[in-house]
Amino acid sequence: MRIAVVCYPTFGGSGVVATELGIALAKKGHDVHFITYRQPVRLDMLIPNIHFHEVSVPEYPLFQYQPYELALSSKLVRIIKKFDIQVLHVHYAIPHAYAGYMAQQMLAQEGIHIPMVTTLHGTDITLVGNHPQYKPAVTFSINQSNAVTSVSQSLKDDTLRLFEIPDNKIQVVPNFIDISKSGDKEVECQRHIMAKPTERIITHISNFRPVKRIDDVIKIFKGITEHIPAKLMMVGDGPLQSDARKQCKELGIKEQVIFMGNSNEIDKILCFSDLFLLPSERESFGLAALEAMVHGVPVISSNSGGIPEVNKHGFSGFLSDVGNVSDMVANAVKILKEDATLSLFKENAKAQAAIFDITKIVPVYEEIYEKVLAEVLQS
């Protein structure tokens, strides 16, 4: 099949899911064309059947805001025609589903009918999409999609609660992970560089936005260090990074916290991690937690949104109410205190991650593509 993929190319989870799915499809022999404003961070261009087309938005002094949707929909039209694309898959509704719909309409004028699959990821529904300034356009473009998927049951429920969308329109297709990559012999586990043998290594990975409750991450870590010697790896970048650094200084834990910035070597970091923290206000799925679990890293998380679908309380980690830092500290200490308990949770985390193995999910997307393609060809 020839598939066009639209996504955000940044370190966010939706871009990672889109990229990993595209790569998996390409490895299965599909021709996959990524169309976005920059090469997605995890996209390996050396894989056969992978193509990347950059959307550039010409600047003009009249524009206060550059019309990205216009450039994207025009680019989609060109690429879909040039490569005879059969299915368009857009990740993150805003503005991708809207631009995709416009491309579909332009192509229909020329007798080209291409189905569009929209995958909802989280903040496109719960935070941004729900804003009154966007809501009518988001509702419209979701409803116009030939198929809509959401990355968790919780996100589907949120979408149905917040938008006028029929119940049967959304199929839950959970995010996934390639379990064959965990325990990769090529990944060097350089634990000794990061911490002393007596210290536990705790990790947080995110885009450092308010929804991630970065201050709670630091408070939980501080609480843990009152019981157990530990180091905290803060991976990623975003608006709250400098506040986080300040907080560490104020709490007197500056030396124990390492800010690593955005990284393409998550597997190397997770390989020496003992615990992952994800105390988010809201999380449609929590891909970062799943990535940790596949490397055998148990998770201390909040119980919001789709996280309980991923992290199992008392098995792969523990869940607490949003903001309940003391409970999260107590649970973290429970896991970290004894080597035997930690080993058990590490094994459990791996076992839980295996439920989301990529080999189970990619065929579900292929089925969806085939279905929408058949429907469009019949109409």
Task: List contacts with ligand GMT (CB under 6 A).
Answer: 12-15, 17, 92, 121-123, 151, 175, 207, 211, 282-287
Smallest separation, CB 347 to ligand GMT (Å) = 23
Q: Which is nearer to ligand GMT, 12 or 296 (CB)?
A: 12
Cα distances (angstroms) measured from residue 78 to each of 43, 71, 73, 84, 106 = 22, 11, 9, 10, 10
Question: Judged by CB, which is closer to ligand GMT: 34, or 224?
Answer: 34
DSSP one-letter code for 257: E
Asked if residues 247 and 271 have their Cβ atoms less than 8 Å apart, the reply is no
Output the smallest distance, CB 223 to ligand GMT, in A: 24
Residue with tokens 């709490």: 251
CB of 222 to ligand GMT, least distance (A): 24
User: Quick check: helix, strand or coil at residue 363?
Assistant: helix
- The token duo for 178 is 């390639």
Minimum CB separation of residue 289 from ligand GMT in Å reads 8
For the chain, what's the residue count?
379
Which three-class secondary structure state does DSSP give residue 54? strand
Judged by beta carbon, residue 69 or residue 283, the one nearer ligand GMT is 283
Comparing CB distances to ligand GMT, the nearer of 15 and 115 is 15
Comparison of 43 and 195: residue with beta carbon closer to ligand GMT: 43
Q: Which is nearer to ligand GMT, 225 or 301 (CB)?
A: 301
For 56, what's the count of Cα atoms within 13 Å in the CB-facing half-sphere?
A: 3
Nearer to ligand GMT, 256 or 320 (CB): 320
Cβ distance to ligand GMT smaller for residue 146 or 207: 207
Closest CB to ligand GMT among residues 85, 307: 307
- Of 366, 367, 288, residue with least CA distance to 27: 366
Q: In this complex, which beta carbon is closest to ligand GMT, that of residue 67 or of residue 210? A: 210
Sign of CA dihedral 8, 11, 14, 15: positive
- Closest CB 333 distance from ligand GMT, rounded Å: 26
Rg for the chain (alpha carbons), in Å? 21
Provide the minimum distance between the beta carbon of 45 and ligand GMT in the complex, in angstroms, as a whole number: 21
Residue 239 falls in which region: left (phi positive, over 0), alpha (psi -120 to 50) or beta = alpha
Q: What would you measure as the largest C-alpha separation in the chain, in angstroms?
A: 68
Task: Find out whether 150 and 119 touch, Cβ atoms under 8 Å.
Answer: yes
Give CA–CA dist 318/167, Å, rounded.
Answer: 31
Give least dist CB 200 to ligand GMT, A: 25
Burial class of residue 29, CB neighbours in 10 A (0-12, 13-18, 19+): exposed
The alpha-helical segments, DSSP class H, found in the chain are: 13-27, 68-82, 93-109, 123-126, 135-144, 153-162, 191-194, 214-225, 241-250, 266-271, 287-294, 307-310, 325-336, 339-354, 358-378
Token pair 């090469």: residue: 39
Q: How far is the CB of 230 from ligand GMT (least distance, A)?
A: 25
Q: How far is the CB of 282 from ligand GMT (least distance, A)?
A: 5
